[in-house]
Structure 1
Amino acid sequence: MKKRVFTILAIAAFGLTSVTAQKTIRLGYIDMEYILENVPEYQEASRQLDNRVQEWKVEAEARLRKVEDMKTRLDNERALLTKELIEERESEIAYMEQQAMEYQQNRFGPNGDYMIQKKQLVRPIQDQVFTAVQQIAETRNLDFVFDRTADIGMIYADKQYDVSESVLRTIKRTANREQLETKDEIKELEKAEDRTVEQDAEITKREELVEQRKSEREEFIEAKKRERDSLKAARQKEFEERRAKILAERERKRDSILKAREKKNDTIN
C-alpha cells in the first residue's frame, strides 16, 4: 500500500515538474501570527477570551480544591463514622469529582468552549486574510502562498498546478488494472490511460448525453404505455356499461312479457 501511494505521489510530482520546467514558480508566504497580533479587533476579542479563560480556570481549581477538602475531612473523621455514612460521603465525593472533571472537559477539552470560541475568534480574520492573499497572488502572479506558522502551510495555489484529478485517475487505473484478466481488457485500459483529463471529460459528457437520451426514450415509451392502458381501460369501461345497459333492457322486456301473460291468464280465468 505504501509503495502504491509513493508511486502515485511520484507521478503527481513528475507532472508538476513538467509544468515548472516551462515556467519559473513564484512563491510567497505570510506570518499569520504577526498579522493577528496587529489586527486591533482580534487583539481586543482575544483579551476578552483570555479573561473568560481565567475565570474558567479559577472555577475549575475551586471545584478540585473542594473535592480535596472533602477527601481530607473524610480521612480525618473516618474512625468516627459508621460504614453507611462513609459510603454516603464517598459517593458524594465521587459525584463532585466527576462534576469537576466534566467542567474541565467542557471548558478546555478538544471540543470545549475555549477551542470553539478560539476558532470563532480567528475565523473572520482568516477569511479576510485568504481574500487578501488571493488578490495579492493574482496581482503579483504568485503561484503558491504559504503560512509559515501553520502545520499545513499552503493557503493559496494556482489551479494550473492542481494534479488532484490526475492522482485520482491514477488510483482508479491502478485499481482497475488489478482486476483485469484478458489481453483485450488490458488493451482497452491502456487506451483509456493514454487519454487526457479533457478527453475523459468529453467522453463522460457524451456518455451522460447518451444515458439522458436513453432515459428520455424510456420515459416516452412508458408514457405511451400508460396512455394505451388508459384508452384500453376506458374502452373496457364503455363496453361494460353498454353490455350492462343491453342486459338491463332485455330484463325489462322479459319482465314486461311475463306480466302481460299473467294479466291475460287472469282475464281468461
Structure 2
Amino acid sequence: MKKLASLFLLIFVFSTTAQAQKWGYFNSEFVLSKMPEYQQAQAEFDQLAQGWMEEINAMNEEVERMRSEYRAEEILLTDEMKKERLAAIEEKASAAREEQKKIFGFEGLMFLKRQELIKPVQDQVFEAVEKVCRSKRLQMMIDKSSDGMALVYTDPRHDYTDYVLEQLGLGDPNDVIDNERYQNK
C-alpha cells in the first residue's frame, strides 16, 4: 500500500511538472541527523523507552516466576489455594498487559512522549522547508527519506479540496474559494 502511494505521488509530481510547476525534494532524516536538538530529544526518548521496556519485562518475569512456583507447588495445594493462586497470577498478568497497553499502545505514553520531544524539532524543519519553498518559488517539496516519499509542503494555491467538496455537494455555501489570497505569499 505504501509503495502504491509512493507511485501515485511520483505520477502526480511528474504530471504537475509538465504544467511548469516547480518542485523539489529533501531528506528529512539527513537534516534531522544534523540537528543537535533532535539528537538530544531522540536520546531522551530512547532512555525513557528503555526504562519502560525494563518495567514491562520485570512485570512479565514476575508473572512467569509466580506460574513456575504454582506448578512446583500445585500438587501440595488445596483446590481453594489453587484458585487463589491462579487468580493472583491472572491479576498480575492482566496488570502487566494493561501497563504495556498504556505505555506502548496506540496513543500511549510512548506515542505522547515522542510527540512532546520530537514534534517541536520537526516543526522547525517544516518551517524551514516552507521558507525555502517560498524563497525558491516551489509549489511542492517532497521528503525522500527512507520511510518513503511524502509531500511536506504544497503551495496552498494548488489545493483543490474545496472544489472537490463542492463537486460532491459537500461544500459550505458560505465558503468562498479564494486562491488569489495565496498569490503574494
Moved over 4 A (4+): none
User: Partners of 1:170 and 1:162 in 2: how far apart?
Assistant: 14
Q: Which has the higher Rg, Structure 1 or Structure 2?
A: 1
Whole-Å Cα distance in 1 between the matches of residues 166 and 50 of structure 2?
52
Determine which of 55, 65, 69 is the counterpart of 1:69.
Answer: 65
Q: Which residue of 1 aligns with 2:55?
A: 59
- Map 1:31-50 to 2 at 5 A: 31-50=27-46
- What's the CA shift for 1:99? 0.8
Q: How many angstroms apart in 1 are the aligned matches of 2:133 and 2:101?
A: 41
Counterpart-to-counterpart distance in 2, 1:52 and 1:71: 29
Partner of 1:153: 150
Relative distance call for 1:20 and 1:108 in structure 2 (3 A) is closer
Q: Please give the per-residue CA displacement for 1:161-205, whole angstroms capped at 9, x wherever unaligned.
A: 2222221221119xxxxxxxxxxxxxxxxxxxxxxx67xxxxxxx
Larger proportion of helix = 1
How many pairs does the alignment contain?
159
Alignment partner, residue 125 of structure 1: 121
Structure 2 letter corresponding to 1:55? G
Query: What is aligned with 2:167?
Result: 170
1:48-102 Cα deviation digits (max 9, x unpaired): 2211211111111111111111111111111111000010000100000011111
In structure 1, what residue type is equivalent to 2:164? V
TM-score w.r.t. the length of structure 2 is: 0.77
Equivalent-residue separation in structure 2 for 1:55 and 1:160 (angstroms):
47
Q: Provide Cα deviations, 1:8-53, integer angstroms capped at 9, x if missing partner.
A: xxxxx8xxx7x876x5111111211112111111111211221121
| Higher RCO (Cα < 8 Å, 6 or more apart) | 2
Identity %: 31
Aligned alpha-carbon RMSD (Å): 2.4
Tell whether 2:107 aligns with 1:111. yes
* CA distance in 2 between partners of 1:133 and 1:95 (Å): 51
